[in-house]
Amino acid sequence: MLIQYQEGGYRLNPESHIFVDVLEISILFEEFLKEKDEVKKITWGEHIVSLYGGPLLPDFYYLWVENLRVSLEERYLSVLRYLAAKYAEKGEYEKSNLYCGKYLEIDKLDEDIHRLLITNYLHSGKKAKAYKQFEKLKKILYEELKIEPSLETCNLFK
């Protein structure tokens, strides 16, 4: 039996050998948080990214699903932020840009990630792409929040 009723609730039978990506991501995320070795932490993070398939049950509006969906997305975003920053530190700008892009697909208003992407373009000599990204950020911030980029972001071009 795949699903069992126990103590007033339903659960997956622990003896059924079924792969549940949400459970796997949760387990891996705990390992990711505990890991001190940078190489291993990056490996855990990349594995989490490979398993994340998008929002959990996007058409279900139950509170328990929404809470789990938000928690899973927050974990995913924190892993993307870590990987983007680490690859940028190593000068691996293309990899960093990949993770910045995945992040911005979910949270296009995160100015820190836009700034990292702009910085990556500048460090890799792609000034035109940096400028386009800055203009894209300006447009997003104005359309969504009616604000301008921060002084820190504006100073990247000075």
Domains in the chain: boundaries: 1-107, 108-158
Three-class SS state of 71: helix
Tokens of 35: 């890991």
pLDDT at 109 over 80: yes
Q: 30-36: which pairs have CB atoms within 8 A and are 24 or more residues apart?
A: 32/79
pTM: predicted TM-score of the whole model, two decimal places = 0.90
pLDDT band at residue 111 using 50, 70 and 90 as cut-offs: very high
What pLDDT digit, counting tens, does each position of 42-57 carry?
999 999 999 999 999 9
pLDDT band at residue 36 using 50, 70 and 90 as cut-offs: very high
CA distance 118 to 10: 48
